[in-house]
Structure 1
Amino acid sequence: RTILERLQKLGKPTFLVINKIDSLPKAALLPLIDLYRQEFPFAEVVPISAREKDGVERLFQVVLGHLPEGERLFDEDMLTDQQERTLVAEYIREQVLRHCRQEIPYSTAVLVDIFDESEREPRPGTPPGQLGGLIRIAASIYVERDSQKAIIIGKQGQMLKTIGTDARKSVQRLLGAHVYLDLRVRVEPRWSERPEGLKKLGYE
C-alpha cells in the first residue's frame, strides 16, 4: 500500500504485471486481479509467465503503447553513436571470448592503440560494393594473469592468429575497408578490481 500511495502521487499510468501464472491455478488469478484493482486504478493488467514467455510480448506492446513519442536524437540512417575505434575494440574482444570460451573470464579488455586512416580512401576506379583503402589498427588485449595471456596466444601463437584473422574480417565489414590488424596481449593484474585499472582501460 505504501508503494501504491507513492504511485498515486506520481499520476503516471501504472501497470499491474503478475508473473508466474504458469504456477498459479487459473481460478485464483481473477480474484487476485480484482483484489489489486480495488486498491489502485491500474491502467493495464498483464498476467505473464516470464519462464514460458506467456504474455511477455503483450506486455511489451502495452508499454510501447503508453510511451510518448520523443524527438529524434539521431539521423534515421545512423546505426550507433559509438566511435569506430570503440566498436573495433568490442569486435576484437568478441573473438577472444568466442575462441577461448570458458578458459578466459569476462575480465578481458581491448584497447585500440593506433587507428591510422591515412590510406582509408579507396583508390580511383574501385568498383562499388568492394572494400576501399587500408586502415592500420594496433590493439592490446588485456588480461589479469600470465596464464590467461598464454591461453590467448596459444601454442606457437596459433590462437592469437585465429582471433586476429576473424576479428579482421569483422572489422573490415564494419569499416568497409581493408584492415591491417596488429594484436598484442598484455597483463594488467586485477585491472577489473582497481579504479586506476578501470580508468586505464576506458571503464570510467
Structure 2
Amino acid sequence: MFKSGFIGIIGRPNVGKSTLLNGILGEKLAIITSKPQTTRNRILGIFNREDAQFVFVDTPGIHSPRTPLNRAMVRAATDTFADSDVLLLVVEAGQEIGPDDRLILESLQGNATPKFLVLNKIDLIRREQLLPQMEAFRHRHPFAEMIPVSALTGEGIPLLLDELWKYLPEGPRYFPEEMMTDSSERFVAAEMIREKILLLTHKEIPYSAAVVVDSFKEDEAKNLIRISATINVEKESQKGILIGKKGSMLKEIGSRARVDMEKFFAARIFLELFVRVRKDWTKDAKRLREFGYSE
C-alpha cells in the first residue's frame, strides 16, 4: 500500500520545527538560528520512502503578532491547519505549557485533522520530565499520538515517520522522487543569506532585514552560479552596521552564505551583496508583498 500526504509542522517560535524538518530530510533545507521567528515563510520539504511520500510543511512560529510582518507570518502558519492531512505540534520537551502554546491549542479546537504532539529536544532533559508534560497536554487536547524526539540527534524520527504513515491517505507521489522542495533556487539562496544576518547581527537588525535575489545565473560549462542579492533594511543606521567598517560585515555575511550555497547547489558561487534602505518596510503592505510576505 502506497500512501502520500501533507504534514504541517506547527508550534510556537524556537521549538526546533526547522531542525526537525532538516533532520527528517537529512539535508539542511530550512535555515536555523537560536533567534525566535527565524522562519518567515512556509517551506515545503519532501521525504520519499518505498511505501510513502511525506510532504512536510515547515511554518513560522505562532505567537501574538504586533506588526503586519508578524501577522503575515502567523497567517502563513495557521493556513496550514486546513491544508494538512496530519498536524505536528512541536513543543520543547520538559517545558510547561506557555501562552503561545495555549494560543495554538485554542486555535486547534474544532479542527478534525489528526494531530501529533512532538516533544523535541529530549537530548537535553531527563526522561522522567516527559510524563507530566505529556499528561498536561493530554488534558488540553485529544492528540492522536505523542512522540518524543531529538531533531538534532535523530532519535525518535524513524518512529515518528512510521506512526505518520498510519494516518496518511492512500495516494500517488505528488512530486518527482528526486525533488526535495518546491522552493525556488532564488528563495533558498535568499534564506541562506538571511540566516547569516541573523547569526552575525543583533537587536532589531535581524528582524528588519529582507533579502531579495536580483539575479541567479548558471554557467553549466564552468559549474558556476552568479548570484546578486539586495539586503533591504528599515533605517540608514542599520545599513551602516550591516556593511560594517570597510565592508567587513557584508563580506563576512557573503563569505559564510557562499559556503552553504556551494554545498547545497554543488557548484562554485560568485556572490554579490548590496544593502538598500526601505523605510519601515515591515509595516508597509506593498513592501511586504514585494519581499514575499503577503499579509
* TM-score, structure 2 normalization: 0.46
After TM superposition, give the deviation of residue 178 of structure 1 in Å: 1.4
- Which of 94, 101, 109 in structure 1 is aligned with 2:195? 94
Conservation of the 8 A alpha-carbon contact between 1:153 and 1:159: yes
Q: Give the structure 2 partner of residue 85 of structure 1.
A: 186
Q: 1-side partners of 2:181 and 2:114: how far apart?
A: 31
Structure whose residues are more often strand by fraction: 2
- Structure 2 counterpart of 1:173, one-letter code: K
After TM superposition, give the deviation of residue 175 of structure 1 in Å: 1.8
After TM superposition, give the deviation of residue 84 of structure 1 in Å: 0.6
Q: Give the structure 1 partner of residue 229 of structure 2.
A: 139
Helix, strand or coil for the counterpart of 1:76? coil
Q: Give the structure 2 partner of residue 187 of structure 1.
A: 277
- Between 1 and 2, higher relative CO (CA 8 Å, sep ≥ 6) is seen in 2
Helix, strand or coil for the counterpart of 2:228? strand
Q: Give the structure 2 partner of residue 173 of structure 1.
A: 263
Q: Give the structure 2 partner of residue 155 of structure 1.
A: 245
How many positions carry a matched residue from both structures? 164
Structure 1: any 5+ residue segments left out of the alignment? 1-5, 33-41, 50-55, 124-131
Q: Give the structure 2 partner of residue 164 of structure 1.
A: 254
After TM superposition, give the deviation of residue 24 of structure 1 in Å: 10
Structure whose residues are more often helix by fraction: 1
> Where do residues 1-204 of structure 1 align in structure 2 (5 Å cutoff)?
22=132, 64-102=165-203, 104-117=205-218, 120-123=219-222, 132=223, 134-204=224-294
Q: 1-side partners of 2:113 and 2:280: how far apart?
A: 46
Pair 1:94–1:59, CA change in 2 (3 A): closer
Structure 2: any 5+ residue segments left out of the alignment? 1-108, 118-129, 149-155
Conservation of the 8 A alpha-carbon contact between 1:140 and 1:183: yes
- Two-structure CA RMSD over aligned residues (Å): 3.8
Q: Which 4+ stretches in 1 moved above 4 angstroms? A: 12-15, 44-49, 56-64
After TM superposition, give the deviation of residue 137 of structure 1 in Å: 1.2
Quick check: which has more Rg, 1 or 2? 1
* TM-score, structure 1 normalization: 0.64
Q: Give the structure 1 partner of residue 121 of structure 2.
A: none
After TM superposition, give the deviation of residue 102 of structure 1 in Å: 3.7
- Structure 2 counterpart of 1:109, one-letter code: A
